[in-house]
Amino acid sequence: MRKLRLLVLAVTLSVSLFLWATPEAVYADNATESELSEITAQWKTSAHALADVNCSSCHQDQGSKAFVAHPNNESCRTCHEAETDTFLLGKHGIRLLEGQSPLTPSKARLAMKPEAHSKQMNCNACHDVHSVDTYQASVDSCMTCHNDEHSLNYKNSKHSQLFLDEESLERPSNISVTCATCHLPRETSESGSKVLANHNNTYNLKPRDRMASEVCMNCHGMEYAFNSIFDNDLVKSNFARPPNIHLKSFDMIRIFQEKRSGK
């Protein structure tokens, strides 16, 4: 009788551990079986699945091993340290860094879509947590909240056309020009071994010459880049035409160079 009880206990523990370690554990957060099936299907074709990042990688506390229903940026930091650190330094994440509640679009100075006003800014706000779809994160996630002229004009821009021409790829390439290309630019790590996305969306907004040098000049010449970034109407149109302004500083540089060369 004692052996039977021990056997039943062992089986019960085994089943419990199996359920806890598999996607069914999400039942702790009241997900339906249909939702779990969809989540699993999204994960199976994701970059996380290819890298052997499974459910427990994000939904299990590394210390206590307890189930975590809603992983936060600290879970993402386990693999994406540079992206998490830069996110916390930008407008989207700075409140979290300061120990405050997450930023919501209702607090923004730019025009935001009313239906997004209560959306909390964290990693999950832009990245679908199970499909890890970088196409969605590079443009569509931005359009979920942003409602200003510059953002709304993106889809009619030449930059957008470059992005759409490559939509069949797994993720945006270095030729695509998305919202993220300019506002969350890719950078090479100090060791040169990795390409990381700088998630500090405040870094290159002001002064504008920083964006010109850090982003625009990756594709455009210096004079064209600076004339464009300081043309306010052009920025609002999301660079729908060549710049209409001409910065005199470039003429001064040319005159100086001619004097130095003795021409």
The Cα 179–Cα 7 span in angstroms is 59
What's the pLDDT at 5?
46
Q: Inform me whether the pLDDT recorded for 220 exceeds 90.
A: yes
Q: Inform me whether the pLDDT recorded for 41 exceeds 90.
A: yes
**Assigned domain for 210 exists:** no
Helix (H, G, I), strand (E, B) or coil at 244: coil
**How many H-runs (helices) and E-runs (strands) does the chain carry?**
17, 2
**Assigned domain for 139 exists:** no
Instruction: Count the domains in the chain.
Output: 1
The residue segments making up the domain with residue 22 are: 1-71
Q: Residues 111-114: contacts with CB within 8 Å, 24+ apart?
A: 111/146, 111/147, 111/148, 112/145, 112/146, 112/147, 113/144, 113/145, 113/146, 113/147
**Assigned domain for 97 exists:** no
Q: In the chain, what percentage of residues exceed pLDDT 70? A: 86
Q: In the chain, what percentage of residues exceed pLDDT 90? A: 57
**Assigned domain for 123 exists:** no
Q: Inform me whether the pLDDT recorded for 11 exceeds 70.
A: no
- For the segment 39-53, the average pLDDT, to the nearest whole number, is 91
Neighbours of 144 (CB within 10 A): 16
**Assigned domain for 14 exists:** yes
**Assigned domain for 8 exists:** yes
**Assigned domain for 31 exists:** yes
Most confident residue range from 66-75, 191-200, 238-247, 253-262 = 238-247
**Assigned domain for 251 exists:** no
The Cα 26–Cα 36 span in angstroms is 8
The Cα 54–Cα 58 span in angstroms is 7
DSSP states of 64-102 as a string?
Answer: T--B-SS--HHHHHTT-HHHHHHHHHSTTTHHHHTT-PP
Q: Are 76 and 122 spatial neighbours (Cβ–Cβ below 8 Å)?
A: no
Give the dihedral of Cα atoms 77, 201, 127, 100; nearest 10 deg: 60
